[in-house]
Amino acid sequence: MRRIILLLLVVLTGLAQVGVVLADDYIEGARLASRFTVYNSDDGFGVSGGEVGRPVIIVNARCYLAHSQVIAGVQVIDLATGMAVPDLEIIDWSGLAAAHPSRPADIIAPQFVLAGDLAADGRYQVRIPYADLDAFDDVSVDGGDPAWAPHGDPAPAILDVEVLPAGKMVDNFGRLVDDPDAGYTAPPSATGIDKLFDGGRFALTPEIPEDSDQLGASYDLTLQVDAMDLGWFGAAPGRFQLDLEAGGRVTTDAANLDLAGYNDGDLSARIMMLPGRTRYYPMGLRAAVGYEADEEFRRTYVTATGQLVVSVPYVERLALAWHRLLGVNRVFAPPFVSGAVVYAEAPDADTPAMSRFELEVGWIVPVAPRWDLGLAWQFFDFHDDDLDDESLFEGYLTYYVDDDRDQGLRVTLEDGFRPAVGDVGKTLLFGYLVEGF
């Protein structure tokens, strides 16, 4: 009943706009709100702070949109990762009523509210594929009724999502106006220690190798020190990020290489760009200083790294086809290739330097709603002519025990050479992953 009343009011609102040329009044845009409610005023429908209890994105667009078209066509991109937001859904909409060539008195110029896996302080873009939707340039009077004027440009609309300010709401024309209720409070930005842990990640995986009574625990810690928007590189958004990272493995017997322990970490400065049209393909540069060591830090190298990382386009379409077949709705990044020059200073005169060129190919992809497959291969070309070229392969399959995907069973295979440790052989591991932050 509420939906029927809403649609009737939308039609009346549209009829009240007879004689208005929409092209002069309508503003495309997207706003991030932590809550929302529908309101009715002299300007038509709009949205502001309300009682939903989760972040939403309010979008005003120049197109006709059925519910199924939004879910299938419109993308919300998380600019921190370059990936589409999963579990996207429309939870409300309004708009202007106008005559459409095939849908008389249908809703166009919609204002729709999208929910999904959003963060209250996230950075997003909305991409609307005009080439695949019924889009318009204008709504004007034709014989006393609002009429549709087709959109001539098939280029997609790319809308930067801005935070809805406190005390404001978005009217039906996309304009920012005062909220008469003034009940909305903009989400606060993280500061201090909260900012350090915002976007951070900690993972711990207790492990048991096949055919061995040795025990181990792999760890991985990432903390975001700072991040800032770099604006635009051509058609691609850019981002600078400063991270602290540490990882490795500790074991019950460091001398037993049935399960080799190791430690590494660095302070990384990254410049990331997100080129692409229908899908972003992240790429970037990374500069880092850090360390790599064996388990007991008896052999520790100080490292400096310069790295270029690019995505491999189109390969992810195989995974998307697989996801459609199984009904999987999981976000993931495309495969990547990276090349790095690593300076690794030897700890003493008797230890060979590990400076090298490093090539890496990898991909982490969901293969089912609760299953992830991770693959990585690294090639090491050492500058020291006395050292042979080496490589390391690591692959894992994780089954998450719940829908939060923060813990699960993991099987890992590693084979090859690890710098600062040496030849680790081929090891099959069984573990249990726990993630935090």
Tell me: the pLDDT tens digits for 173-224?
778 877 665 554 444 445 555 555 556 789 999 999 988 888 999 999 998 8
Over 50: is that where the pLDDT of 21 sits?
Answer: no
pLDDT for res 73: 67
How far is CA 78 from each of CA 61, 199, 279, 378, 397, rounded to the nearest angstrom?
Answer: 19, 13, 12, 28, 25
Highest-confidence segment of 13-22, 110-119, 348-357: 348-357
pLDDT at 124 over 70: yes
Residue 112 carries which side chain, given as an amino acid letter? F
For 432, the enclosing helix (H) or strand (E) is strand 422-436
Neighbour order of strands in the sheet with 145-150: 63-64, 134-142, 145-150
Give 87's pLDDT tier (boundaries 50, 70, 90).
Answer: confident
Most confident of 66-70, 76-80, 190-194: 76-80
Name, in order, each residue with C-beta under 8 angstroms of 98's C-beta and a sequence gap of 6 or more. 14, 105, 106, 108, 109, 139, 145, 146, 147, 148
Q: What whole-number distance in Å separates Cα of residue 374 and Cα of residue 159? A: 32
pLDDT above 60: residue 51: no
Question: Are β-strands 336-345 and 300-311 bridged in parallel, bridged antiparallel, or unpaired?
Answer: antiparallel
Q: Report the pLDDT value the prediction gives residue 19, as an integer from 0 to 100.
A: 32
- Where exactly are the structural domains of the chain? 2-178, 192-436
**Structural tokens at position 399:** 């089954």
- How many Cα atoms occupy the beta-carbon half-sphere of 142 within 13 Å? 13
At residue 304, does pLDDT exceed 80?
A: yes
pLDDT at 41 over 50: no
Q: What CATH number should be reported for the domain whose range is 192-436?
A: 2.40.160.40
Which range, 147-151, 254-258, 265-269, is most confident? 265-269
Can you tell me the distance from the alpha carbon of 260 to that of 251, in angstroms, rounded to the nearest whole number?
A: 8
Interatomic CA distance for residues 220 and 208, integer angstroms: 17
Locus of tokens 């635009």: 232
281-310 mean pLDDT: 92
Separation of alpha carbons 372 and 333, rounded Å: 12
Is 389 a residue whose pLDDT tops 60?
Answer: yes
At residue 45, the pLDDT reads: 44
96 or 161: which leads in pLDDT: 161
Residue 370 has pLDDT above 70, yes or no: yes
Among 149-158, 196-205, 390-399, the range with the most confident prediction by mean pLDDT is 390-399
Looking at residue 85, its pLDDT comes to: 84
Lowest mean pLDDT across 134-138, 313-317, 385-389: 134-138
CB count in 10 Å sphere of residue 101: 9
**For residue 82, what pLDDT band results from cuts at 50, 70 and 90?**
confident
Q: Is the predicted pLDDT of residue 415 greater than 80, yes or no?
A: yes
Mean pLDDT of 370-378: 94
| Residue 22 CB neighbour total at 10 angstroms | 20
Cβ neighbour number for residue 318 with a 10 Å cutoff: 10
Task: Note the pLDDT tens digit of each residue in 312-369.
Answer: 988 888 888 888 788 776 767 789 999 999 999 888 878 888 999 999 999 999 999 8
